[in-house]
Structure 1
Amino acid sequence: MNIRGLLGAAVMAALGLASQAAAQAEIKFGHVGEPGSLMDLSATEFAKRANERLGDKGKVIVYGSSQLGDDKALLQKLKLGTADLALPSTIMSSMVPVFGLFEMPYLVHDRDHMKRIRDEIVTPTMVPEAEKTGYRIIGVWENGFRQITNNRRAISTPEDLKGIKLRVPNGEWRIKMFQAYGASPSPMPLSEVFVALQTGVMDGQENPYAQIYPSRFYEVQKYLSISNHVYTPAFVTAGRSWDKFDPEVQQALTETAVEMQDVVYGIAADLEKDLLQKLTEAGMAVNEVDTAAFVAASQPIYDQFAQSVEGAGALIEKAQGLSGE
């Protein structure tokens, strides 16, 4: 083979390797959940199923435990295209105002109710609003029903929260809600919460069991008050890099994200029972709150949300009408 032939073969080989590298492109999926959390279990199962569909067209790699940053950083990376998928929860209410719907206390009664809200409100109404801001939601999963832990006292009524320094996620309505209850809420990345509780910077926090146990908050918190005050979905979200993927890759990721929706609900339900038992066995003092008292104290938040976000009142009414009760 002459020099020209050798060069041609080298070029073709290089192009072939480049093509293969592109085909095997890494699809970065970041989230803030610790190992064993609902986010971790959900994202890991998604990656397994998606990669079976993708074959040699790409590979989903999961980066949990805030390895790619907290929720705010992840959403920024989606906008920049330096992360491909993320699993934001509460923070979506700060990015797209209509998502404050899921900050309304005691709105979602159970997972069957959430399925109806997902299919009749989230997918047709809220997903397009997110897309206008550059976020493409391809699946609606779960972060869970949230509970309150603290080191001061058992929480039975909103009055018991007065003066308690409470870590909350980054969402304006969660802050307003706990201010209305009398607490002193402060937003903080999940990765910083353990040390804040350990050192007394914060008295308590609120999270689903599926974050409380994997984050080992039972080591630095005495009281667990079962409040179920907010149900938080988690949204499988893509950004700027989505359009770089072949349609077949987009289809595989979307189909898997949707397929996982009901799977995640099943994982979440099983985790709730298991983790509550583990938290009790770890020595936490567990009590149930006076739900009626919290519901009554929550009405001002509904009123503020309905007044401040266009169309919110109608969405609240529709969501409540889907409860089946």
Structure 2
Amino acid sequence: MKFKSALFGAATLAMMSSAATAQEEIIFGLSAATGSLQQQTASEFARRANEKFGDTAVVKVFDSSQLGKDKDMLQKIKLGTMHLTLPSSTMPEIAPEFAIFDLPFLVADREHLARIDETFFKDVLVPAAEAQGYRPLAVWENGFRQITNNERPVNTPADLEGLKIRTPNSSWRVAMFSEYGANPTPMSFSEVFVALQTGVIDGQENPLTNIAGGKLNEVQKYLSMSGHVYSPAYPTVGVAAFERLDPEIQQVLTETAQEVALWAREQGAEQDGALLEKLKAAGMEVNTADRAAFVEASAPLYEKFAEEVEDGQAMIDQVMSLADGES
């Protein structure tokens, strides 16, 4: 009996010790490829958060759509089967206010984006997402989007006429490229390389970090520097599932997401030049698109936003006023 009691006592102590050291696993899924700035930022976020957590919790990152496409992962964070995801251009499908970032040439530069982050993001975009059960914790860098294709350099919208251009699953991006005369084809990023390789689509549009991270230079000839849209990425949680986490874990995740936002913008600015040279060296033919021609062709998109999104014109005016540092 003493032997059995000793065994029972040892087993109980082992179980108690295991429970005491068990870590809460924070699952972070994203669609961006390994090596992209989004993946780098998620890894930096995990590194910083895990240092703060110690033995309390651990953030685990799964990139390259390992846990599903953007739409799937948004559903999972709402259900609580994972904790964080990193949507970008799909956010207007959650709340139309996020389509402000689909207005071409609205964001002047990263300093302008920082001012949008400090005011418009928390005052307008976060409440809009929360009304749909989601909470973006910060604004991370995705970057200024450029156009690639296999047919010809794109200097003006007329050069896009008839080209099958992959867009994210965003009705606003589809409207944009339809306005430019292209044949927009919504598709998840994980499917883009093969679609380009097999000729299902002629081209696509993405920041340089995603073009390089996805190795699209291997299946695309022309890179046209249009900078038509700055698209952020939003580390996002499902409100109900997030609020079931320990408050200290919530605080670390929120604070760290906001800390990493500045790091991501700095990395994006530093990497742009190097990525462009890398893509040139890989054989892509690069040209600078005619900004004025694209700006002129974009006017109907501003009208659409003002008409279809509640307080749309006021939102445009507010964001544009921040370009010069006004409040």
TM-score, scaled to structure 1: 0.96
Asked if 1:20 corresponds to 2:15, the answer is no
1:304 aligned partner: 304
Q: Which deviations, in whole Å up to 9, do the C-alpha atoms of 1:57-116 show, x marking residues without a partner? A: 100111011111111111011111111111110000111111011111101010000011
The sequence identity of aligned pairs, in percent, is 52
Note the 1:73-84 alignment, pairs <5 A: 73-84=72-83
Amino acid at match of 2:287: N
Note the 1:1-325 alignment, pairs <5 A: 10-11=11-12, 13-21=14-22, 24-239=23-238, 240-324=240-324
Distance in 2, Cα, partners of 1:195 & 1:63: 21
Distance in 2, Cα, partners of 1:9 & 1:128: 51
Distance in 1, Cα, partners of 2:201 & 2:231: 22
With 4-13 and 28-37 compared, the bigger mean Cα shift is at 4-13
SS of the counterpart of 1:225? strand
Amino acid at match of 2:163: I
Distance in 2, Cα, partners of 1:256 & 1:52: 11
1:4 offset after TM fit, Å?
Answer: 7.3
1:252 offset after TM fit, Å?
Answer: 1.1
Distance in 1, Cα, partners of 2:62 & 2:100: 28
1:18 offset after TM fit, Å?
Answer: 3.1
Distance in 1, Cα, partners of 2:184 & 2:275: 25
Aligned residue pairs: how many? 323
1:159 offset after TM fit, Å?
Answer: 0.8
1:117 offset after TM fit, Å?
Answer: 0.8
Distance in 2, Cα, partners of 1:128 & 1:174: 23
SS of the counterpart of 2:108? coil
Please provide the CA RMSD for this pair: 1.6
Q: Which deviations, in whole Å up to 9, do the C-alpha atoms of 1:187-230 show, x marking residues without a partner? A: 10101000100111000000000000111111111110000000
With 238-247 and 171-180 compared, the bigger mean Cα shift is at 238-247
Distance in 2, Cα, partners of 1:177 & 1:151: 20
Q: Which deviations, in whole Å up to 9, do the C-alpha atoms of 1:117-167 show, x marking residues without a partner? A: 111101111101111111111111011000000011110111110100000
1:279 offset after TM fit, Å?
Answer: 0.6
Q: Which deviations, in whole Å up to 9, do the C-alpha atoms of 1:221-264 show, x marking residues without a partner? A: 11100000000000011114312321111111111111111110
Distance in 2, Cα, partners of 1:36 & 1:124: 32
Distance in 2, Cα, partners of 1:221 & 1:249: 43
Structure 2 unaligned residues grouped into runs of 5+:
none
Distance in 1, Cα, partners of 2:159 & 2:237: 40
Q: Which deviations, in whole Å up to 9, do the C-alpha atoms of 1:279-318 show, x marking residues without a partner? A: 1111111001110110111010111111111012111111
Distance in 2, Cα, partners of 1:214 & 1:58: 29
1:6 offset after TM fit, Å?
Answer: 6.3
Amino acid at match of 1:20: T
SS of the counterpart of 1:139? coil
Amino acid at match of 2:290: D
